[in-house]
């Protein structure tokens, strides 16, 4: 089975091919779809040219199907969450930074945190114990 990503609320699949599709809202209220790489730690994205933002701007991420806000405000207002199912159907929380240009992603199961991205050290204190790199 391939790795799949799901909306935490409606459990719809968010991935197509090697991409994850999320709905994004930027400061000027422009909305659009954004494509992310399924591979954790790969921060290449695809978006519409008119969806513009500056580095450091806080973006809003939403499920493209049910429009649930993916923000994880109870942990940190800079973070958002989706669900990952690995090849063995094991479930993880995948938490990522909503700050434009910031590279921080965490794959979390019951007792393990894996961190990705050079900015992930900014958030390790929010998860109770240190991630492995
Ligand atoms: Zn949803």
**Residues ≥6 apart with Cβ < 8 Å to 65:** 7, 10, 12, 14
Spacing, Cα 125 to ligand 1 middle (Å): 28
- Statement: residue 1 has pLDDT above 90: no
Distance CA 94, CA 114 (A): 10
Average pLDDT, the chain: 92
Confidence of residue 73 (pLDDT cuts 50, 70, 90): confident
Spacing, Cα 73 to ligand 1 middle (Å): 17
Spacing, Cα 122 to ligand 1 middle (Å): 28
Q: Encoding tokens for residue 4?
A: 């799949």
The answer to whether the beta carbons of residues 132 and 56 sit under 8 Å apart is no
Spacing, Cα 71 to ligand 1 middle (Å): 12
Q: Supply the pTM of this predicted model.
A: 0.92
Confidence of residue 131 (pLDDT cuts 50, 70, 90): low
């Amino acid at each position: 089975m391939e790795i799949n990503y799901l909306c935490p609320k409606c459990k719809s699949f968010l991935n197509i091919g090697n991409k994850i599709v999320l709905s994004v809202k930027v400061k000027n209220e422009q909305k659009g779809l954004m494509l992310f790489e399924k591979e954790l730690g790969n921060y290449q994205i695809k978006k519409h040219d008119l969806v513009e933002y500056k580095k450091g701007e806080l973006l809003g991420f939403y499920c493209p199907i049910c429009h649930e806000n993916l923000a994880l405000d109870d942990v940190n207002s800079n973070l958002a969450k989706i669900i990952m199912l690995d090849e063995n159907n094991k479930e993880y929380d995948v938490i990522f930074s909503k700050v434009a240009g910031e590279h921080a992603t965490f794959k979390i199961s019951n007792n393990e945190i894996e961190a990705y991205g050079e900015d992930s050290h900014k958030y390790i204190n929010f998860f109770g114990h240190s991630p492995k790199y």
